[in-house]
């Protein structure tokens, strides 16, 4: 099959290597300078405007992944043939006059989610081009904060001796390294938020039930990782506007505008969002430098006018025993089984909090990234898995770095269905984000 004409004349790229395991010269020789620094919304705008084609963007992304991922190991496999076909379809739909909000955006797909996952199908309907399967943990460990490939474990882009977190390990690493601007994840105990924190990117866990759950206990919710809040807002728009069981709307934009992708108001009655802070949720053993860095970023957001903090205290029951029991329930567990009443107690406590607060803020993880040998006794999920029990949406956003040079995430939790509130704060504070690792300060 010949290479298609590009929009400026001539042809792009060359033949793909056999199978879906390699790419050779598909748009990569030309090099779309600076593409790796752009977010999904900006890439889509350039493709819709005809500055680049989806074919060219896809080829550039595949070529860069092939080079950079030998060391990073964010991807288990690439899908060059399928990606090229998807890019050609995006270009065809654009020529037909369809409006695609994520036109030509290269998408990393969590390996355990796959191309047939509900959220992936909706993102493809909105114009995304899946380019490969991102790494998830392999067999042999009880802990899930790592990624496995046949070349070795996934490395953290900020320090190859660190794990990127998990289980959405490859998705976080690929986004942080600029290989893709958007990647899917799933979160059953913190599997989107933890790698987002350790790779210094944004990670959103959806409200449980927004899309079909993948486990009987209802602990796992879909999510996504990105570098920019506007890209996560576009992700939310795509989930709502482009259900894959009907033809996607065409010819005109859907009329949705960030920062209210769900059509809900953000600041209620003209007041800023009220936020309660807890470094431990009443039970976690959070390292002091992590707590201090997360709290400092929350204070910066407040100073920037993104929110107001209160003196409310938050104490939840430790979810560990309940979560573990729900993950492996007895054969005859009744519907709605709640070991120890922990899920109901947590939901009651959060209902009281959210009666007069909009958000809850915590560090995303109580500890810094661990090495590739594992976390030891550290409980990386201590501050995240309560919200898998309760179903609340949650976002990890980069909160800066400790004096020792470790990345810190700030977790924000909202009322069910109020993902827009999370992204409003993230957008208001995006200019405060320090993504690059600074030199360590000791003493």
Q: Could you state, in order of their start, the residue ranges of all structural domains in the chain?
A: 35-241, 268-432
DSSP class of residue 401 equals E
Selecting among 53, 110, 278, 346, the annotated active-site residue is 110
Q: Distance between CA atoms of 165 and 194, rounded to whole angstroms?
A: 6
Q: What is the CA radius of gyration of the chain?
A: 21
Find out whether the peptide bond into 115 is cis, omega within 30 degrees of 0. no
400-419 burial, b at 16+ Cβ within 10 Å, e below that, comes to bbbeeebbbbbbbbbbbebb
Q: Distance between CA atoms of 34 and 55, rounded to whole angstroms?
A: 17
Query: Mapping DSSP to helix (H, G, I), strand (E, B) and coil, where does residue 278 land?
Result: coil
Find out whether the peptide bond into 271 is cis, omega within 30 degrees of 0. no
pLDDT the model gives residue 214: 72
**34-43 per-position pLDDT tens digit:** 888 999 999 9
Phi, psi at 275, each rounded to 5°:
-130, 130
The domain made up of 35-241 has a fold known as Amidase signature (AS) enzymes (3.90.1300)
206-217 burial, b at 16+ Cβ within 10 Å, e below that, comes to bbbebbebbeeb
Selecting among 53, 112, 167, 278, the annotated active-site residue is 167
Q: Is 110 a catalytic residue?
A: yes
Residue 82: closest CA among 33, 23, 32: 23
Structure tokens at 91: 């270009």
Residue 416: closest CA among 347, 363, 349: 347
Judge whether 247 and 400 are in contact, CB under 8 Å: no
Residue 90: closest CA among 126, 121, 41: 126
Q: Is 168 a catalytic residue?
A: no
Residue 91: closest CA among 59, 121, 47: 47
DSSP class of residue 356 equals T
Q: Distance between CA atoms of 163 and 68, rounded to whole angstroms?
A: 17
Judge whether 204 and 419 are in contact, CB under 8 Å: yes
Query: Which residues of the chain fall below pLDDT 50?
Result: 1-30, 247-267
Q: In Å, how far are 170, 221, 325, 334, 371 from 216, measured between CA atoms?
A: 25, 12, 12, 12, 32
**245-299 per-position pLDDT tens digit:** 554 443 333 332 223 333 333 445 567 899 999 999 999 999 999 999 999 999 9
Judge whether 296 and 400 are in contact, CB under 8 Å: yes
pLDDT the model gives residue 142: 87
Burial-class residue 106 by CB neighbours within 10 Å (0-12, 13-18, 19+).
buried
Q: Is 163 a catalytic residue?
A: no
Overall CATH class of domain 268-432: alpha beta
CA dihedral 373, 378, 380, 381 (to 10 degrees): 130
Q: In Å, how far are 29, 51, 102, 134 from 33, measured between CA atoms?
A: 11, 13, 20, 24
- Report the 10 Å Cβ neighbour count for 57: 27
Burial-class residue 1 by CB neighbours within 10 Å (0-12, 13-18, 19+).
exposed
Length of the chain: 443
Q: Distance between CA atoms of 128 and 105, rounded to whole angstroms?
A: 5
Structure tokens at 140: 């042999």
Say if 35-241 and 268-432 have the same CATH topology. yes
Selecting among 191, 278, 346, 380, the annotated active-site residue is 191
Q: Which residues pair with residue 77 across a beta bridge?
A: 133
């Amino acid at each position: 099959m010949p290479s298609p004409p590009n929009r400026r004349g001539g042809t792009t790229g060359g033949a793909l290597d056999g199978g879906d395991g390699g790419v050779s010269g598909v748009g990569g020789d030309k090099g779309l300078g600076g593409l790796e620094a752009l977010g999904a919304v900006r890439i889509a705008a350039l493709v819709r405007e005809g500055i680049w084609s989806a074919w060219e963007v896809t080829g550039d992304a595949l070529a860069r992944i092939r080079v950079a991922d030998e060391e990073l190991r964010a991807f288990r496999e690439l899908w060059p043939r399928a990606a090229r076909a998807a890019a050609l379809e995006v270009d065809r739909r654009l020529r037909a006059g369809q409006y695609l909000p994520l036109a030509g955006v290269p998408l990393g797909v969590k390996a355990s989610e796959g191309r047939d996952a509900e959220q992936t199908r909706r993102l493809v309907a909105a114009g995304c081009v899946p380019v490969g399967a991102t790494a998830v943990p392999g067999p042999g460990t009880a802990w899930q904060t790592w990624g496995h490939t046949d070349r070795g474990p996934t490395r953290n882009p900020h320090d190859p001796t660190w794990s990127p977190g998990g289980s959405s390990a490859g998705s976080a690493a690929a986004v942080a390294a600029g290989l893709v601007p958007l990647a899917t994840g799933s979160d059953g105990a913190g599997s989107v938020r933890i790698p987002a924190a350790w790779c210094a990117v944004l990670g959103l866990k959806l409200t449980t039930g927004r899309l079909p759950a993948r486990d009987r206990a209802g602990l796992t919710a879909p999510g996504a990782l990105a570098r920019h809040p506007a890209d996560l807002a576009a992700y939310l728009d795509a989930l709502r506007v482009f259900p894959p069981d009907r033809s996607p709307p065409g010819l005109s934009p859907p009329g949705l505008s960030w920062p209210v992708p769900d059509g809900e108001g953000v600041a209620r009655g003209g007041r800023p969002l009220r936020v309660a802070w807890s470094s431990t949720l009443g039970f976690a053993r959070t390292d002091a430098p992590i707590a201090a860095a997360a709290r400092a970023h929350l204070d910066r957001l407040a100073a920037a006018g993104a929110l107001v903090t209160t003196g409310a205290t938050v104490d939840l029951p430790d979810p560990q025993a309940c979560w573990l029991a729900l993950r492996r329930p007895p054969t005859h567990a009744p519907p709605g089984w709640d070991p120890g009443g922990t899920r109901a107690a947590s939901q009651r406590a959060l209902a009281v909090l959210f009666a007069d607060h909009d958000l809850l803020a915590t560090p995303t993880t109580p500890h810094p990234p661990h090495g590739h040998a594992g976390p030891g006794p550290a409980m990386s999920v201590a501050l995240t898995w309560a919200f898998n029990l309760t179903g609340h949406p949650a976002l990890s956003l980069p909160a800066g770095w400790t004096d020792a040079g470790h990345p810190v995430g700030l977790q924000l939790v909202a009322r069910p269905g109020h993902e827009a509130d999370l992204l409003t704060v993230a957008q208001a504070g995006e200019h405060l984000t320090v993504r690059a690792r600074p030199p360590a300060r000791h003493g």
